Structure 1
Amino acid sequence: MKKPLDKTKRSSQVTGNVGMFYACYKLSMMGWNVMPTARNAKGIDIVAYPANANNFIGIQVKSLSQRTAVPLGKGLDGIMGDCWIVLNRVREEPPNCFILYPEEVKKLANRSGKNGNISYWLEPPDYDVKEFKEKWGRLDEILIHKEKSMNSSAITQNG
């Protein structure tokens, strides 16, 4: 059973911190080394690498206090990193975690706007699905893919 946290209104920065540090905690418990980046800076939120330190992945974290839409901004060009972790209901323990690839975020993004004022977002029924929920193993898949790409690139260069 989920344990509710203090229900007092939290700032969006605190909500973001809860999500980012929860993701760091989960990754650390799975054996990943994690480094949060500067808060509210453009770019990824977490750099994570396995114990062998052969490679790393960049992670974008989106934290929500409720099961609501994930704002993506005015364009899809800002979707970066190797992986997205969306957390909702971060006021409950544990929050809901969803692991998506950037290509999936772009594919599932909704678009709206008129008069040149365009915005993108992910609706809960698009990201809050079994395919993404608690799928932390997808991070290992990213590493495997990156290592294969690096190996084939090395073979091509040496070949």
Structure 2
Amino acid sequence: MQAKLDPHVIGNVGLYYCCYRLSLLGWNVMPTTRNARGVDIIAYNASGSTFIRVQLKALSKRSAVPLGSSLNKIAGDFWVIVNNVVTEPSAFVLLPSEVKQRAGCNEKDGQVSYWLDPPRYDQEAFRDAWHRIGSGQA
């Protein structure tokens, strides 16, 4: 039985899994400072002519992705959600606009929170859809 991992470790596993997958596509990948506001990964193609910014959410199991109190913080060119990072990582590649369109909202005691439920991101169109990002070979 797997011991429960610290959320920072789960985040790192997801981050480096995503970096690995992007590297296989030919991107030069640079993780940003952990827990900094903004994107988690910056990557550029082989010629240095194209840059992409990736926001990553790593989860230990198939669960909802917390998005915070505002959808204005959804940044980057792509969003990658990696769940089951310890056992069998599954990655879902979405555009920020798709995350916003699919976000659920809850209000309790005047506090608003947004999230992305698994049925809203765990779809064949997004599953391992690294082709949406494209190749870094050009």
Q: Give yes or no for TM over 0.5.
A: yes
State TM-score, norm by structure 1: 0.82
Write the mapping of 1:7-156 to structure 2, written as runs, cut at 5 A: 7-93=2-88, 95-140=89-134
Unaligned runs of 5+ in 2: none
Cα offset, 1:114, TM superposition: 2.7
Cα offset, 1:66, TM superposition: 0.4
Q: Per the alignment, in what secondary structure is the counterpart of residue 9 of structure 1?
A: coil
- Give the conservation status (yes or no) of the 8 Å contact 2:25–2:134: no
Cα offset, 1:60, TM superposition: 0.2
CA distance in structure 2 between the aligned counterparts of 1:15 and 1:111, rounded to whole angstroms: 25
Unaligned runs of 5+ in 1: 1-5, 144-159
Q: Per the alignment, in what secondary structure is the counterpart of residue 72 of structure 2?
A: coil
Equivalence for 1:154: none
CA distance in structure 1 between the aligned counterparts of 2:87 and 2:109, rounded to whole angstroms: 39
1:107-140 deviation line (CA, Å, top 9, x unaligned): 0000001332010000000100001000001112
State TM-score, norm by structure 2: 0.95
Cα offset, 1:58, TM superposition: 0.5
Q: Does 1 or 2 have the higher relative contact order (CA < 8 Å, sep 6+)?
A: 2
What letter corresponds to residue 106 of structure 2 in structure 1?
A: S
Aligned length: 136
Q: Percent identity?
A: 50
